[in-house]
Chain A
Amino acid sequence: MNPDLLENLRLELRRGCLILAVLAQLKTEHYGYALRKTLAGRGMEIDENTLYPLLRRLESQGLLVSQWREEDKRNKRFYRTSDDGRQLLKQLAAEWRSINASLNGIL
Chain B
Amino acid sequence: MELLDRYLQAVGFWLPQPQKRDIIAELSEDIRSQIEEKQSELGRNLDNAELEAILKRRGAPLLVAESYLPQRYLIGPLLFPIYRLVVKWALLYQAVGWFLVWIGFALLDRTHGNADPGDAVADALRSFWLVGVNTLLAITATFALIERYHAKSRFLEQWNPRKLPRLRHPNQISRSNSAAELAWNGLLILWWVNLLRLPEIPGLRITFAPALLHSFYWPIPTLFAALAATACANLFRPWWTRRRAAVRIAINAFGLILIAVLFMTKPWFEVIAPHATTTEIRDMAQWVDWTAAVWLLVYAMSFVLRGMQDIRRVTGKEPIRHWAMRMLAGE
Q: How long is the Cα–Cα vector from A93 to B268 in the complex, in angstroms?
A: 83
Query: In the complex, are the beta carbons of B30 and A48 less than 8 A apart?
Result: yes
Query: In the complex, are the beta carbons of A74 and B32 less than 8 A apart?
Result: yes
What is the number of residues of chain B that contact chain A, defined by CB distance less than 8 Å? 16
Contact of A52 among B26, B32, B63 (CB under 8 A): B26
Q: How long is the Cα–Cα vector from A32 to B32 in the complex, in angstroms?
A: 12
Contact of A49 among B26, B29, B58 (CB under 8 A): B58
CB-CB contacts below 8 Å: B6-29 with A: 19, 23, 25-27, 29
Answer yes or no: B68 CB below 8 A from chain A CBs.
yes
Measured between C-beta atoms, what is the minimum distance from A84 to chain B in Å?
A: 21
Measured between C-beta atoms, what is the minimum distance from A41 to chain B in Å?
A: 13
Query: In the complex, are the beta carbons of B64 and A49 less than 8 A apart?
Result: yes
Query: In the complex, are the beta carbons of B34 and A33 less than 8 A apart?
Result: yes
Whether A33 contacts B30 in the complex (CB less than 8 A), given A48-B58, A49-B58, comes out as yes
Answer yes or no: A2 CB below 8 A from chain B CBs.
no
Measured between C-beta atoms, what is the minimum distance from B30 to chain A in Å?
A: 5
Q: How long is the Cα–Cα vector from A53 to B63 in the complex, in angstroms?
A: 12
Query: In the complex, are the beta carbons of B26 and A32 less than 8 A apart?
Result: yes
Q: List the B side residues contacting A76 at CB < 8 Å.
A: 29
Contact of B68 among A33, A56, A68, A75 (CB under 8 A): A56
What is the number of residues of chain A that contact chain B, defined by CB distance less than 8 Å? 14
Q: How long is the Cα–Cα vector from A68 to B23 in the complex, in angstroms?
A: 12
B residues within 8 Å of A by Cβ? 19, 23, 25-27, 29-30, 32-34, 58-59, 63-64, 67-68
Q: How long is the Cα–Cα vector from A56 to B70 in the complex, in angstroms?
A: 11
Measured between C-beta atoms, what is the minimum distance from B28 to chain A in Å?
A: 9
- Convert A56-96 into 0s and 1s, putting 1 for each residue whose CB lies closer than 8 angstroms to a CB of B: 10000000000010000011110000000000000000000
- Convert A21-32 into 0s and 1s, putting 1 for each residue whose CB lies closer than 8 angstroms to a CB of B: 000000000011
Q: List the A side residues contacting B30 at CB < 8 Å.
A: 32-33, 48, 52
Q: List the A side residues contacting B33 at CB < 8 Å.
A: 33
Report 24 cross-chain contacts, Cβ distance below 8 Å, ordered by A residue: A32-B29, A32-B30, A33-B33, A48-B30, A48-B58, A49-B58, A49-B59, A49-B63, A49-B64, A49-B67, A50-B67, A52-B23, A52-B26, A52-B27, A52-B30, A52-B67, A53-B67, A53-B68, A56-B68, A68-B25, A75-B25, A75-B29, A77-B25, A77-B29
Q: How long is the Cα–Cα vector from A33 to B54 in the complex, in angstroms?
A: 14
Q: How long is the Cα–Cα vector from A53 to B22 in the complex, in angstroms?
A: 12
The 5 closest A-B pairs by CB, nearest first: A33-B33, A49-B67, A53-B67, A53-B68, A33-B30
What 16 additional pairs, Cβ within 8 angstroms, besides A32-B29, A74-B32? A31-B29, A32-B30, A33-B33, A49-B58, A49-B59, A49-B67, A50-B67, A52-B23, A52-B27, A52-B30, A52-B67, A52-B68, A53-B68, A75-B29, A76-B29, A77-B29
Q: How long is the Cα–Cα vector from A33 to B27 in the complex, in angstroms?
A: 10
Q: How long is the Cα–Cα vector from A49 to B55 in the complex, in angstroms?
A: 12
Measured between C-beta atoms, what is the minimum distance from B78 to chain A in Å?
A: 20
Q: List the A side residues contacting B34 at CB < 8 Å.
A: 33
Measured between C-beta atoms, what is the minimum distance from B32 to chain A in Å?
A: 7
Q: List the A side residues contacting B64 at CB < 8 Å.
A: 49
Q: List the B side residues contacting A48 at CB < 8 Å.
A: 30, 58
Q: How long is the Cα–Cα vector from A74 to B64 in the complex, in angstroms?
A: 22
Q: How long is the Cα–Cα vector from A50 to B67 in the complex, in angstroms?
A: 7
